[in-house]
Amino acid sequence: MRLALCNKTLNDRPLEAFFALAADAGFDAIEVIPGSLGTPIVDADPAMRVQILQVARAMGLEFVAMNSVFEHVPTFNLVTGDSDLRQRAAEELVAIVHLGLHMGVTSIVIGSPRQRRAPANASFDEATDLFIAELEPAATVAQELGITLCLEPLVPSLTNFMNDTAEGIAVARRMNHPAVKLVLDVKQIARETRSFASALEIALPWLAHVHVNDANMQAPGEGDTDFLAIIKSLKDVGYGGVISIEAFSFADVPKVVLTRSRKYLESILDAA
């Protein structure tokens, strides 16, 4: 397994500052928000993206994943009743997949809870049909480019569609596309009715990415979540992909916390 650092809650700082933080904290892999790489995605300056890659590589960093794909376009929605918004969201997602190829990522996490709020009167099946129809073009391109789209279940307080692991699996199974898999997020699963081991058992055929964070929304090792059991369960099933730290709050200076969290996870990886 490879450790990565996500800039989800660190994107209030310039991208180079995030690179410096990741490198100083001992990471060599990063997961970033597409909007932090220049917008609009379709027309962003290609020279700027080359420069971003060069800066990251000079710091010993490799892009491995992207998430929060629609944070830069908050009005877009893949599951709305507004067909124009759905179409624009679908086109933007295709552009993000092409951006992923340019940056060298292998996974793109489809979370963005506000951009997948379904109409209040839509059933889960109806919302799934809307979602799949708009995801299909990006999935087709992603397959051609060797990129995996990872569906991220999120709690009802964030969105009204795809709220737990079982629903994420239901969408992935119904779509039945080789480029569409699932991400397991420790904080999310802590809010479901099943354990991480139970979620892993049912999600394994679709698992392609893992987000690690304590149930208290801080970095691994900064709370009571048992990451030894989590890492051991991933090792036991043969998961060899990325585990990306996605911390939402820090009780100390981020560099101190993230260095400590990385060392904590590395010690568990060695022991599990």
Tens digit of each residue's pLDDT (9 = 90 or more) over 53-101: 999 999 999 999 999 999 899 999 999 989 999 999 999 999 999 999 9
| Percent of the chain whose pLDDT exceeds 90 | 88
3-state helix, strand, coil in the chain (%, to 5): 45, 15, 40
Backbone angles phi, psi at 195, to 5 degrees: -80, 170
Mean pLDDT of 254-268: 97
Tens digit of each residue's pLDDT (9 = 90 or more) over 204-252: 999 999 999 999 999 999 999 999 999 999 999 999 999 999 999 999 9
- pLDDT at 39 exceeding the cut of 90: no
The H or E element containing residue 231 is: helix 227-236
Joined tokens for residue 218: 């801080």
Greatest CA separation found in the chain? 52
